[in-house]
Structure 1
């Protein structure tokens, strides 16, 4: 069933249709990423409970032997433990180095106790088939945890230690992302959600629970910043380019936004393109959607979409459009360090066009925000830049 409003003539989407056909052909040939629905297998509640019981049994056994119990967790903070596969992204190697959270060390005893506490909370949640947000966990004893970051880090450590996707722990993240466009789906409780081209809806908190996704979108546009996303909505971009979907994670994407983008790819195989600032931070965010992050590399199969393409803003576009230097921003020392870091990452070797764009940025020593296009006209982004890019296949 078609969605309204109707956008351009069908011929407008020829480049996107060809791109989608090539993606599907690559999938069938086994070279374009994981087949639909393939990823880290979701663990059943009984399996999660059994895993926690095994961990606690090990603690009890250590105590019975008069030994100080410790948790062994894969080290997710070093590139040495990360491998890269073009079809998956960044993922942990099978025999990676580990870190020990010891109960007899002043440095880690508090962390050990907090892991035990959160493990007990997860056990009760899974056992009772109820859910809590990370924020709920924090507020059960905010003085003990100290800050939300501590809770978030421990939950990731537990997920990695149990080898269980985080959503199987019955802990949800509060979504910050937004979605708009030609999409309908059902939430777990049966609520029908109709996304609109005119207004955005919040990304659901339980992506695992949504079902019956229906869309006839020709493309999914990932927008780095909320301000740009809102401007595109105000300019009726989504309606004029219908059928399409727009998503923003409002900067560095939260887990739910990444899960949603992955679910849309698995379910619909819609060509996915990214609109980010022509700066190292924007490129980093795009890489998180495409290849994942070091900290969540143990769950890469569920989070990455290697089919993502860079639509803009390209450093070469800045040069081509003759955007004045006054509208550009000099790279800071921190920017240059970030750019150097990205250029050394394993996935850049299979993206020569990306490398070329980053080298243009490095040579110019300048970066550009998407808003720099307003120099040409206030609605240049929505009426000229993006439509031309989409029509003529201007992604890399």
Structure 2
């Protein structure tokens, strides 16, 4: 176990919370000041999705469908070559679309798929219903057995990016992978949901309004857009400190970056899906050293991922993240959250590690 010098007398819980909130408010004030002085991207090439009404979305989709017959029809290009890291409308730097004039012409098969998906969405709008990616996929699959689920997600992103619509305002919901627990309740469609009703939390809803939170838990893999939007709304509403706890490996750090600066796939809508103020609570590579957790060796792929992350501008903007990535590469070790449970017991994550890290945030700069 870590040496006793690492485990200094803990600060009382209420004092920890008071000081963390005070520190967070200073951060928010600083970010607001920086936003006020940051340059705004008012050039015609800058692209940032906006919340659109159902009427506006319907008009945009009908116009987009008419353009499909034009041989020169094109969609805004998504992907690495049209993504940059820069200040958005609020002055905060994120991954965002570089140039809306960088476009690509879809092949005939893709063009037909886009047309079918637009018809599916327009039909749901006429019926005053919100649909799901899953429902659209199965309907399309009935007529095209080669159509894959990933294609449905890709087409929805292409449409939203091209018409400049945020994911939360678009009338198609993705299946959610996150859960929320704690002293939280909300009303949806006239029915109450109580997060304390289940020990493992309840599924995060598809949100277009503001709510309150305690603890949110994503499932395995990359975070879904609903969970990311949920955290964003909670932070916007209450300005409470937001912390992320992830596996100590390149994938865990990539997930943290997805929450804070966004993803390449959703670059057109990262403003509404990111929480830049989130603090990386761990597990840090230095935690493995301090808590004497052996961990596992990094694979060659992991080492390449670390090298790639160290080249990113958003990593250079985060001194702690940069330092810990260098520590990971130096030691060549990684570990998941289960490693803490295996070494210290099932309750230690909440009763030992979290108090230790929150205290460390207040005492170690």
Same fold (TM over 0.5): yes
Equivalent residues of 1:315, 1:358 under 8 A apart: yes
Equivalent residues of 1:276, 1:282 under 8 A apart: yes
Q: In the alignment, which residue of structure 2 is the partner of 1:377?
A: 344
- Residue aligned with 2:259, SS: helix
1:357 to 321, 324, 329: 324
Cα deviation for residue 79 of structure 1 reads 4.3
Q: In the alignment, which residue of structure 2 is the partner of 1:120?
A: 119
Q: Find the aligned partners of 2:73 and 2:251 in 1 and give their Cα distance.
A: 34
Equivalent residues of 1:292, 1:304 under 8 A apart: yes
Q: Please give the per-residue CA displacement for 1:317-357, whole angstroms capped at 9, x wherever unaligned.
A: 11112223xxx111112111221221111201111211110
Q: In the alignment, which residue of structure 2 is the partner of 1:142?
A: 141
Please identify, of 285-294 and 162-171, the stretch whose mean Cα deviation from structure 2 is larger.
162-171
Q: Find the aligned partners of 2:168 and 2:325 in 1 and give their Cα distance.
A: 35
Distance 1:80 1:136, change over 3 A: closer
Cα deviation for residue 246 of structure 1 reads 3.0
- Residue aligned with 2:105, SS: strand
Question: Is residue 83 of structure 1 aligned with residue 85 of structure 2?
Answer: yes
The alignment's TM-score, normalised by the length of structure 1, stands at 0.78
- Residue aligned with 2:165, SS: coil
Equivalent residues of 1:274, 1:309 under 8 A apart: yes
Cα deviation for residue 285 of structure 1 reads 0.6
Gaps of 5+ in 1: 1-7, 63-68, 102-107, 216-243
Distance 1:181 1:158, change over 3 A: same
Q: Find the aligned partners of 2:157 and 2:82 in 1 and give their Cα distance.
A: 19
Q: Please give the per-residue CA displacement for 1:59-85, whole angstroms capped at 9, x wherever unaligned.
A: 45x3xxxxxx25312222124532333
1:29 to 33, 37, 40: 33
Q: Find the aligned partners of 2:338 and 2:280 in 1 and give their Cα distance.
A: 17
Question: Is residue 192 of structure 1 aligned with residue 220 of structure 2?
Answer: no
Cα deviation for residue 214 of structure 1 reads 4.2
Distance 1:33 1:301, change over 3 A: farther
Q: In the alignment, which residue of structure 1 is the partner of 2:221?
A: 251
Equivalent residues of 2:259, 2:275 under 8 A apart: yes
Q: Please give the per-residue CA displacement for 1:9-34, whole angstroms capped at 9, x wherever unaligned.
A: 42232331222221332354254999
Q: Find the aligned partners of 1:182 and 1:300 in 2 and give their Cα distance.
A: 28
Q: Find the aligned partners of 2:50 and 2:137 in 1 and give their Cα distance.
A: 28
Cα deviation for residue 95 of structure 1 reads 4.5
- Residue aligned with 2:74, SS: strand
Question: Is residue 347 of structure 1 aligned with residue 352 of structure 2?
Answer: no
Q: Find the aligned partners of 1:59 and 1:377 in 2 and give their Cα distance.
A: 59
Distance 1:28 1:356, change over 3 A: closer
Q: Find the aligned partners of 1:121 and 1:358 in 2 and give their Cα distance.
A: 45
The alignment's TM-score, normalised by the length of structure 2, stands at 0.85
- Residue aligned with 1:393, SS: helix
- Residue aligned with 1:307, SS: coil
Please identify, of 309-318 and 84-93, the stretch whose mean Cα deviation from structure 2 is larger.
84-93
Equivalent residues of 1:90, 1:292 under 8 A apart: yes
User: Equivalences for 1:132-281 in 2 at 5 Å?
Assistant: 132-142=131-141, 144=144, 146-187=147-188, 189-196=189-196, 198-204=199-205, 206-208=206-208, 210-211=209-210, 213-214=211-212, 244-281=214-251
Q: In the alignment, which residue of structure 2 is the partner of 1:98?
A: 103
Q: Please give the per-residue CA displacement for 1:97-130, whole angstroms capped at 9, x wherever unaligned.
A: 22111xxxxxx22111101110111122223321
Q: Find the aligned partners of 2:66 and 2:322 in 1 and give their Cα distance.
A: 50
Equivalent residues of 2:76, 2:103 under 8 A apart: yes
- Residue aligned with 1:292, SS: coil
1:41 to 41, 44, 50: 50
Q: In the alignment, which residue of structure 2 is the partner of 1:11?
A: 15
Q: In the alignment, which residue of structure 2 is the partner of 1:235?
A: none
Q: Find the aligned partners of 2:343 and 2:267 in 1 and give their Cα distance.
A: 40
Distance 1:32 1:345, change over 3 A: farther
Alpha-carbon RMSD: 2.5
Q: Find the aligned partners of 2:122 and 2:342 in 1 and give their Cα distance.
A: 56
- After TM superposition, the runs of 4+ consecutive aligned structure 1 residues lying more than 6 A away are none
Q: Find the aligned partners of 1:72 and 1:22 in 2 and give their Cα distance.
A: 45
